[in-house]
């Protein structure tokens, strides 16, 4: 890409703006002045501005720009040289725009929100610089506050970090305590459930044993009742049962006047 335009002069007056490439001029009558349209950068050091909280700061700011190719003739006519253009359009505007933009930030926010600060300054310069130049970018390369203030900022940041760390530790301890409570509750619930299960097992076992005893007692009572009814209905049943069990032998000793077994004396 060709980055220069030739200003063809005849006796010091502009004849035309020559495009890049081969051209001709009349010796002794015509001359050519070259205007660069490439991107250029200029650095300004020691620029001073006050923050919103009245803290002075010195800054180094760089501005990159280029000349509009179609405006090369106007640059030569109005400013003659690019250096003169920089002095009149950029150098005059930069301190003012820096003061205006930097004054909207506190010293701390200027450091913390530096990207936004740079963007705001770039927008302000693009709006303020009107003419054949295009502002490509602005960078704040350095911000220096007083030593005392920088020390106070450092101390404040350390304090904020310490507070944040303490808060994080407290939050961690809180979470750990909640975990411990949850675990203890879970253990207690587990023990309670086990105790309830054991109690239920004992209750069921006791109920089963009681039911077994009840059924056994009921069966025995029913057997006694049935036996009693059978005896009442069959008085000779006892004698019959005894006779069935007798082995046919008389007792070795008999009391005088007693009866022989199973033979009624009546």
Domain total of the chain: 2
Same domain? 41 vs 117:
yes
Q: For residue 265, what pLDDT is reported? A: 45
Same domain? 73 vs 156:
no
Residue 76 lies in a domain: yes
Same domain? 42 vs 126:
yes
Count CB neighbours of 95 within 10 A.
14
Q: For residue 227, what pLDDT is reported? A: 78
Per-residue model confidence as pLDDT tens for the chain (266 residues): 456 554 445 445 554 454 554 554 556 454 455 666 778 888 999 999 999 999 999 999 999 988 877 666 676 677 777 788 888 888 889 999 999 999 999 998 998 999 999 999 999 999 998 888 889 999 998 899 888 887 887 788 889 889 999 999 999 999 999 998 988 898 888 888 888 888 888 888 888 888 888 888 888 888 888 877 877 777 776 666 776 676 767 666 666 666 655 555 44
CA–CA dist 144, 63 (Å, integer): 19
Using alpha carbons, select from 155, 10, 134 the residue that is nearest to residue 66. Answer: 134
Q: For residue 38, what pLDDT is reported? A: 78
Same domain? 156 vs 184:
yes
Is 13:42 a contact under the CB 8 Å cutoff? no
Residue 266 lies in a domain: no
Q: For residue 255, what pLDDT is reported? A: 64
Please tell me the pTM assigned to this model: 0.52
Same domain? 163 vs 233:
yes
Same domain? 138 vs 151:
no
CATH number at residue 85: 3.30.479.30
Residue 1 lies in a domain: no
Residue 198 lies in a domain: yes
- Give the chain's end-to-end CA distance (angstroms, integer): 157
Q: Which domain holds residue 169?
A: 146-238
Of the residues 86, 111, 145, which one is the last residue of a structural domain?
145
Residue 8 lies in a domain: no
């Amino acid at each position: 890409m060709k980055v220069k335009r030739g200003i063809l002069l005849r006796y010091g007056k502009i004849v035309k703006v020559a495009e890049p490439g081969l051209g001709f001029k009349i010796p002794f009558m015509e001359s050519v002045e070259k205007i660069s349209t490439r991107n250029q950068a200029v650095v300004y050091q020691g620029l001073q501005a006050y923050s919103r909280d009245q803290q002075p700061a010195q800054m180094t700011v760089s501005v990159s720009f280029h000349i509009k190719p179609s405006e090369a003739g106007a640059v030569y006519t109005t400013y003659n040289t690019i250096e003169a253009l920089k002095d009149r359009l950029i150098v005059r505007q930069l301190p003012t725009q820096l003061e205006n933009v930097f004054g909207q930030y506190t010293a701390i926010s200027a450091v913390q929100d530096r990207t936004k600060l740079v963007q705001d300054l770039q927008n302000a310069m693009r709006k303020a610089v009107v003419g054949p130049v295009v502002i490509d970018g602005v960078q704040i390369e350095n911000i220096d506050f007083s030593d005392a203030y920088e020390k106070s900022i450092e101390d404040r940041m350390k304090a904020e970090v310490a507070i944040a760390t303490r808060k994080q530790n407290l939050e961690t301890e809180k979470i750990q305590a909640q975990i411990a409570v949850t675990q203890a509750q879970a253990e207690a619930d587990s023990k309670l459930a086990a105790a309830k299960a054991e109690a239920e097992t004992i209750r069921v076992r006791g109920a089963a044993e009681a039911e077994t005893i009840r059924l056994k007692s009921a069966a025995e009572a029913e057997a006694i009742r049935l036996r009693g009814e059978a005896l009442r209905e069959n008085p000779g049943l006892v004698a019959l049962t005894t006779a069935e069990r007798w082995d046919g032998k008389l007792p070795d000793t008999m009391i005088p006047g007693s009866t022989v077994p199973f033979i009624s004396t009546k």
